[in-house]
Chain A
Amino acid sequence: MLAVTLDDPSDLDAWRAKARSLLLADVDPADVEWRAGAGGGLFGSDDAVPPPRRTTVPGVPRAFLGLAGTVLAHRDPRRHATLYRMLWRIAHGERELLRIATDGDVAWAHACARQVSRDMHKMKAFVRFREVRLGEDTVYVAWFEPEHDIVPAVAPFFVRRFTGMHWSLLTPSRSAHWDGATLAIGPGADRADAPTEDALEDLWRTYYASIFNPARLKVDAMRREMPVKYWKNLPEARLIPELVRDALPRMQAMVEKQPTVPKKKVTPLQKAAVDAPEGSIAALRRRARDCRACDLWKPATQTVFGAGPSDARIVVIGEQPGDQEDLAGKPFVGPAGKLFDRALEEAGIDRSALYVTNAVKHFKFEPRGKVRLHKRANAEEQAACRPWLAAEIERIRPSGIVCMGAMAAQGVFGSSFRLMAQRGQWLETPDGRRAMATVHPSYLLRLPDHDAREAGFADFVHDLKLMHAVLR
């Protein structure tokens, strides 16, 4: 049996150095006795590790070192031996050992790591600093009793969080001190070294008592997450018995109490009247907001009504809003809208002079996880929406209408209209208006190859330039 002593039994580097030399010397895990404590002290000196029998140790998975670092903080004295046995097995052909979650050693190590992580997490949660004034300086001091040797591992968290304070964390086995610049890990302390109260704790208890809902008493759930062993260092915990005892009577009193007559007169909020004279576009928009002529409103965010000056000379009609338009409540703001803007710029047309709208005013989509796939509105939905478009055109009385895409064009010219054959020319509509049709910008976005897209875009711009004749 070979005795190996670790000065700091929780330190990964120290354990790792010993384990490495043992492995190089081919020392079987069963032949090692791991001891903790100051070297050369209580247990006598270390046995000499035999000379190396090999020159390299096979690479150890990074995950193992991570796991070992956590397990070493555990109080269980078997941890050094178990970790060495795992290392040995990994080095002797069981490279994938860590992937066998049900292996005895692996399961044990993971269970230890879980307990250490939980202890660290609870320390981050349940440390309660108390303010101490030392002359000019204010120091925050906490007494905490962790289950495992976690202070060196947790202290950096407190540095990152409380950088601008001076503080000390005192525990029975170690302490940590931060003076605003340096973190020092020191020896254990005594409870009497820590302050016993803080003026603010009454306020904190007030909060704790007030945020508790007596109608939902679940004491077991509380105990599971905030085990009783921590209570002695939590200033709020002393309220728990009373809060639990009074919960049921408080709750019953609430239920039994007859509703009271409202006494106070608080004037309800007056929503600012919308300035929308009857017959105006604004009034129309207001009404369209609550349109339920078809079912498209149900899953959608909002009606996407037309936008632009009410005396615009041209009304541009697209097909239906998409994802971005639905969220923003404005037409042509998504990818197709961006392309439309670029084409207008190229054509030398100011979008703000146009009234831009859609044939259908709600986004139709099919949910696919977090994505909303665009779906074409059917004939019924298009028909249900037609009165809105007709009313927009009626109010604006434009000198020209530009239809983008077949849905808009057929809505204006009738269902026999053939977009690709009749696009790019001012025509007369059946009801005697001047109108023109072109492609929808989303059609250009869908074109597969670059050249076709370029050519399509140029044609689109060419069509849009026809608007100059009307705008002038």
Chain B
Amino acid sequence: MAVPMNVTEKLAILADAAKYDASCSSSGGKGRNSLKSGGIGSTEGMGICHAYAPDGRCISLLKILLTNFCVYDCVYCVNRRSSNVPRARFTVEEVVDLTLAFYRRNYIEGLFLSSGIIQSPDYTMEQLVRVARTLRTEHRFAGYIHLKTIPDAAPELIDAAGRWADRLSINVEMPTEGGLKSLAPEKDLGDIRSAMGRLRLSIDEAKAEKKAPRFAPAGQSTQMIVGADAASDRDVLTASTNLYTNYHLRRVYYSAFSPIPDASKILPLKPPPLVREHRLYQADWLMRFYGFDADEIAPPGDDGMLSLDMDPKLAWALRHRERFPVDVNRASREMLLRVPGLGVKTVDKLIAMRAHRRVRYDDLVRLRVPVKKVAPFVETVDHRPRGDRDTPLLRRDLREPAQPDLFG
């Protein structure tokens, strides 16, 4: 080693290495501020995006790795031990200082700290915990902290992580066990699930008892890489359903596999279209807030892939023309939520309004719903859908022209 690296050089390497983790959320958890402590930091439920990069992603947290040295060799990962990328390692103090300096200038909501595994899972986890503990106890820092959790680390270390962090996350990495085995041979689905199970128990316990020590009040989340293996969208959504049900995750993040420097030969040559990731997020949203389940969105039988040229709710509605048109003045909230183009907010406005007067077609226009998409599926006092458009015709009229995918 020649000259020791300065913080700028380390930051360039260790932020670059962290950018494949999609989550930058700083939402969730109880509000808190610094009025009493006289320190700095607050969280008020909804996170704030302090900047946007030209990839359209929000920059909310200082998202870095403590180090990108790693003893694992996960094929899709830029930091795998056989990769030739430059390596760096922050000290605990450097991360603490950087977080505080950025926070004071209002660049960030807090810290999302992850790390390659060095020496052992316990050693690495202990370093991550030290950063969080130092921020909280020595600097009265009340901003958001998200710690990546290492499934094999000792339970005491995970307890400590939950004590200081707002959110913990363990990446499931691949939608299927086969994918995990072939691309992340040193990781084990059983270990990951059992660690998520323990996290859920600790989070539930802290929530149930007021006097229980704080434990990750903003819950746990995870990430799946999409398009690096052969898993279908149906596989992805089935895996998500299981994760939401079993471990009460706040979010499952889908990260379209993206080309990395110094890629391994095993990986696909071309990345999946970004719109696939977008459709998966839409489907995920439908499962969490619109009462759909995975079987409805990606029915068994066909190839298990979502249409790229229309959103999954519209695709469902076209497969179920018998459920439409829906009478906006009478339908249940559940059914209104299933109308293509109607979102939760619009549905609630319509329901509030129809208690006082009949909803007309013009109301939909004024609510600025996408009428072209909504009209074939609803009726109002003065509107019934044209009866002459069969499903193929409607499909042709409503599909979104494929976005020219920049690199697709």
Contact = CB atoms under 8 A, between A and B. Distances in A.
B320 interface: no
Contacts, number: 245
A215 B78 CA distance: 14
Given A268-B81, A269-B120, A370 B244 contact: yes
Contact of B51 (A200, A226, A328): A226
Contact of B407 (A221, A236, A251, A328): A251
B367 A101 contact: yes
A203 B15 CA distance: 12
Interface string A301-320: 11000000000000000000
Contact of B197 (A99, A101, A159, A329): A329
Contacts of B70: 266
A254 B258 CA distance: 10
Contacts of B271: 215
B105 A163 contact: no
A210 B11 contact: yes
Nearest to B244: A370
Contact of A212 (B55, B246, B363): B55
Contact of A299 (B19, B55, B246): B246
Contacts of B59: 208, 211
A221 B51 contact: no
Interface string B185-202: 010001001101110110
Contact of A328 (B41, B54, B198, B366): B198
Nearest to A121: B48
Contacts of B62: 207
Interface in B90-121: 98, 101-102, 104-107, 117, 120
B54 A211 contact: no
B49 interface: yes
Interface string B215-259: 000000000000000000000000001101111100000001011
Contacts of A131: 104-105
B197 A327 contact: yes
Nearest to B87: A264
A299 B248 contact: no
B11 A129 contact: no
A160 interface: yes
Interface in B260-274: 260-265, 269-271, 274
A243 B186 CA distance: 36
Given A218-B54, A226-B51, A327-B200, A257 B82 contact: no
A248 B406 contact: yes
Interface in A325-384: 326-329, 367, 369-372
Given A128-B106, A165-B104, A254-B263, A101 B53 contact: no
A234 interface: yes
A290 interface: yes
Interface string A197-240: 01010111011111111111111111001100000001010001
Contacts of A248: 406-407
Contacts of B198: 327-328
Contacts of A217: 54-55, 406-407
Nearest to B274: A216
A131 B352 CA distance: 49
B107 A128 contact: yes
A208 B55 CA distance: 11
Contacts of A367: 241-242, 245
Nearest to B269: A255
A265 B32 CA distance: 46
A128 B101 CA distance: 12
Contacts of B331: none
Interface residues of B, number: 94
A225 B52 contact: yes
Contacts of B102: 200, 204, 207
A267 interface: yes
B377 to A, nearest CB: 19
A118 to B, nearest CB: 12
A370 B240 CA distance: 12
Contacts of B18: 211
Contacts of A269: 71-72, 117, 120, 186
A33 B9 CA distance: 62
Q: Which of under 10, 10 to 19, 20 to 34, or 35 or more describes the interface residues of A?
A: 35 or more
A164 B140 contact: yes
A243 B15 CA distance: 16
A298 to B, nearest CB: 9
Interface in B355-370: 355-357, 362-363, 366-367
Interface string A249-279: 0010011010110111011110000000000
B84 A99 contact: no
A107 interface: yes
A100 interface: yes
A108 B272 CA distance: 42
A236 B51 contact: yes
A379 B101 CA distance: 63
Contacts of A125: 48-51
Contact of A301 (B11, B101, B246, B264): B246
Contacts of B407: 215, 217, 248, 251, 255
A102 interface: yes
A127 B106 contact: yes
A180 B40 CA distance: 11
Given A207-B11, A207-B15, A220 B245 contact: no
Interface string A177-212: 000100000000000000000101011101111111
Contacts of A96: 356
A124 interface: yes
A443 interface: no
A259 B274 CA distance: 23
A32 interface: no
B137 interface: no
A289 interface: yes
Interface in A412-465: none
B171 interface: no
Contacts of A198: 105
B7 interface: yes
B58 interface: yes
A301 B197 contact: yes
B261 to A, nearest CB: 6
A126 B69 CA distance: 34
29 contacts: A125-B48, A126-B50, A159-B35, A164-B37, A198-B105, A206-B11, A207-B62, A210-B11, A211-B63, A216-B56, A218-B55, A225-B52, A244-B54, A247-B54, A254-B260, A255-B259, A257-B261, A259-B263, A262-B84, A268-B71, A268-B73, A268-B81, A268-B186, A301-B196, A324-B201, A327-B247, A367-B241, A367-B242, A372-B246
Given A203-B98, A369-B245, A371-B245, 16 more contacts: A107-B366, A128-B107, A129-B104, A142-B106, A206-B15, A207-B11, A211-B59, A216-B258, A218-B54, A251-B259, A254-B259, A262-B81, A299-B246, A324-B201, A328-B197, A372-B246
Interface of A: 96, 99-102, 107, 121, 124-131, 140, 142, 157, 159-165, 180, 198, 200, 202-204, 206-222, 225-226, 234, 236, 240, 243-244, 247-248, 251, 254-255, 257, 259-260, 262-264, 266-269, 289-290, 299, 301-302, 324, 326-329, 367, 369-372
Which 5 A-B pairs give the minimum distances between C-beta atoms?
A221-B56, A218-B56, A262-B82, A327-B197, A160-B33
